[in-house]
Each structure stands twice: as C-alpha cells, then as structure tokens.
C-alpha cells in the first residue's frame, strides 16, 4: 500500500492549489508571484534603470507584465560560482477573447474566441467559465495597464443535446472554431446594443468609463477551484497545472533556499505554448539580458559565469493513464506521486 500523504505534502499541495486559483491568466500569475516575492523581501528592478547589485541582494524584474525573473545574488561573483537557474512558463493552453468578439443571435450574445496553444476544446464544454487578463485604458497620464478578473461564472459553452448529436459518443465531441466555439455571454433586449456588453462589464469592475478601454487581452478560465481528491486525497485536480505547477515549485524553491555562493535564479516565461518566440518568451533576450547584467556586463566574466551554470527547464510530464496504456512507452511510465520525472529527447528538442 502506498504511504498516505504527510501533513507537509498536503500543505504544499494546498499551497499550489491556492497559487493556481490566484493566477487565472499569465498576467495574474506574474502578479501572484510578485506578491510572494515582495512578502519575502524581494525588491523590484526596472530594465531601463541602472542596476547596482550587492552580494545576497534579492530582486525581481518583469517584462511585458507576463514574464518575471527573480534572483538571490550569490556571495561570490557569478564569474566565480555561476548561476543556478530554474525555468518554467506562466501561460497555459486555452481560449482567448477576440478583440471584436461580440456575436449576436436574436437576444443571445456570444464572444468569439481564438485558440491559444493546444487545448482539448471539448474540456471547455458545460463548464463554469469566466474571464481574466489585462486591459489597456486611457488614463490621465497616458495608457495604463490594469488587471481584471471575474471570479463568478460569466461564460458557457453549452453542449449540443444528445438528441441532436447521436454520434457524439462514437465520433467524439467536436467544435467548429469559428461557428460553434464562441461562448455565450448573456441575453439582451432586441433594441439594446450588444457590442458594448463586455466593455461595460469590465468598466464596472475597474470603475472606469467604458469609452476609456483601448484594448483587451482576456483569458478564458474555469471558475471551479482546484481540489485534492482520491481515497486518501492523494491526487490533485486543477486548471493550468501546465505549467503553474512548475512556477510554484520554482518560487517555493527560491523562497526556501539558503544563501549560497551561486546566484539563484527563477525565470518564468510567457508564450511557451505558442513557441516562446516573443520579446518576453524563453527564446527572447529576457534571461540573457538579466544574466549579462548580473555577471557585470563584461563578456569575459559572463562567459565564465555561464560555464559554471546549471539550468533546469521545468514543465509538466504525462503520468501513466491505465485506460490508455498504448499511448505510453512501455518501459518509461511516469508514475504519480513517485517524484520528479526527468525527460530527455534523442533529437535534442528538450531536456526537461
């Protein structure tokens, strides 16, 4: 019999669930991470400013509101001790609201969505969905960025009744992305304009005029909180485990770590699900820019530091599913609650 979860393990799992519940979008994930860092004494840095980093200093820097790098400077210069880096990503597969997404069918108003990354679209059906993300508004001092979140159910993707889709159990639940995937937002009187409904809801939440809203970047999220389940509460269920679980692990490791000769770094990137090829993505210059400055900006010292560096790329792995055993390598099963999984690829696409 597998040993029961310890009190420490249960507390850590609950902390992970709370972290995910507070992070329904990449922008919220960075904000949640920032809150934990500041509570532990980490101070913000801006890329446009001059950095003066002393040994043992604890700081964080944000790029694009959705990627964050935090570090504890080592007691030795990076050129002498190197970096210890843990990387993860703040985004998850899902749905994003189109900029002009209002669709009206009679009195029903729907919101058009774009597919972000590679989600299982059927998993959004008949769920309590809502919105969270970043809104740009016209403020007194120019364009301002605000976070917005609706905690209660706001949207739904109702499934088609079995009477009208008799083959669904044989052919699977499928949605046309353009015509069938838009989410129902609400019901309006025939004479009422539907194009401002979402803007009015956001304006009310942010306490601004709807006319001041310039753009929206909104993530569709499930409102049901994460939970522990199973005969002994040994399993965990939540949205966005890919990859907020690794973000939380990185943050927990940094905050619980002791002072070290090596400079400890966590790098949580946006846009991994769509290739990482952005200004704040992992293939952008964010991490290399930060490491260069921590190494002193000198090419020789930077190369010496990198030669002494270890970087772990942390992401979610697919645990063995007994109902679909044929999908797994027969001698390489990843077992739940048996520790971290080490993933390698012979074609050098990743080593996670």
* Tens-digit pLDDT profile for residues 32-59: 999 999 999 999 999 999 999 999 999 9
113-164 confidence digits (pLDDT tens): 999 999 999 999 999 999 999 999 998 889 999 999 999 999 999 999 999 9
Number of Cβ within 10 Å of residue 112's Cβ equals 18
CATH number at 94-222? 2.30.250.10
What ranges do the domains of the chain cover? Answer: 7-92+240-327, 94-222
The larger pLDDT score, comparing residue 285 to residue 192, is at 285
What is the percent of the chain with per-residue pLDDT over 70, rounded to a whole number? 97
The alpha carbon torsion through 303, 309, 314, 320 (nearest 10 deg) reads: 120
Least confident of 5-9, 141-145, 341-345: 341-345
Share of the chain above pLDDT 90, in %: 87
Question: Model confidence at 2, in pLDDT bands (50, 70, 90)?
Answer: low
Hey, which bits of 75-212 come out as E strands?
83-89, 94-105, 108-116, 129-139, 142-149, 183-187
Separation between Cα atoms, residue 272 and residue 215, nearest integer Å: 23
Q: Is 90 exceeded by the pLDDT of residue 352?
A: no
What pLDDT, on a 0 to 100 scale, did the predictor assign at position 192? 66
Residue 351 has pLDDT above 70, yes or no: no
Nearest-CA neighbor of 342 among 331, 330, 329, 332? 332
pLDDT for 321: 95
Evaluate whether 7-92+240-327 and 94-222 have a shared fold.
no
Comparing CA positions, the residue from 173, 230, 303, 191 lying closest to residue 5 is 230
Fold of 7-92+240-327: Aminopeptidase (3.40.630)
CB 59 within 8 A of CB 53: yes
Which residue has better confidence, 188 or 305?
305
* Residue (of 118, 117, 125) closest to 155 by Cα position: 125
Q: Which of 253, 252, 254, 287 is nearest to 67 (CA)?
A: 287
Residue 171 has pLDDT above 60, yes or no: yes
Average pLDDT value for the chain: 94
How is residue 322 written in tokens? Answer: 């007994």
- Better pLDDT: 287 or 5: 287
Would the pLDDT of 106 be above 50? yes
Q: Is the pTM of this model over 0.85?
A: yes
């Amino acid at each position: 019999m597998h040993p029961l979860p310890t009190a420490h393990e249960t507390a850590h799992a609950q902390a992970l669930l709370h972290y995910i519940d507070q992070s329904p979008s990449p922008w919220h994930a960075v904000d949640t991470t920032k809150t934990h860092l500041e509570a532990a004494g980490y101070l913000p840095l801006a890329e446009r400013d001059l950095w003066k980093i002393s040994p043992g200093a604890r700081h964080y820097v944000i790029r694009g509101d959705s990627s964050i790098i935090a570090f504890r400077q080592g007691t030795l210069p990076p050129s002498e001790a190197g970096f210890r880096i843990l990387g993860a990503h703040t985004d998850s597969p899902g749905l994003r609201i189109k900029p002009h997404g209002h669709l009206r069918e009679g009195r029903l108003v729907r919101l058009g969505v774009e597919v972000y990354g590679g989600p299982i679209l059927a998993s959004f059906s008949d769920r309590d969905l809502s919105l969270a993300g970043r809104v740009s508004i016209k403020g007194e001092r120019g364009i301002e960025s605000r976070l917005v979140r609706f905690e209660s159910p706001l949207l739904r993707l109702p499934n088609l009744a079995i009477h009208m889709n008799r083959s669904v159990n044989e052919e699977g639940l499928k949605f046309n992305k353009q015509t069938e995937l838009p989410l129902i937002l609400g019901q309006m009187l025939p004479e009422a304009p539907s194009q401002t409904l979402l803007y009015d809801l956001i304006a009310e939440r942010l306490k601004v005029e709807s006319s001041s809203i310039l753009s929206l970047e909104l993530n569709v999220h499930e409102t049901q909180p994460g939970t522990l389940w199973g005969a002994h509460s040994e399993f965990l269920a939540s949205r966005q485990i890919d990859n907020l679980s690794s973000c939380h692990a990185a943050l927990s490791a940094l905050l619980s770590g002791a002072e070290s000769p090596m400079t400890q770094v966590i790098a949580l990137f946006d846009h991994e699900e769509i290739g990482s090829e952005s200004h704040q993505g992992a293939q952008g210059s964010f991490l290399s820019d930060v490491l260069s400055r921590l190494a002193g900006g000198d090419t020789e010292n930077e190369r010496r530091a990198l030669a002494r560096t270890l970087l772990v790329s942390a992401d979610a792995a697919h645990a063995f599913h007994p109902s679909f055993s044929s999908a797994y390598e027969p001698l390489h099963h990843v077992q739940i609650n048996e520790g971290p999984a080490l993933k390698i690829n012979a074609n050098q696409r990743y080593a996670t």
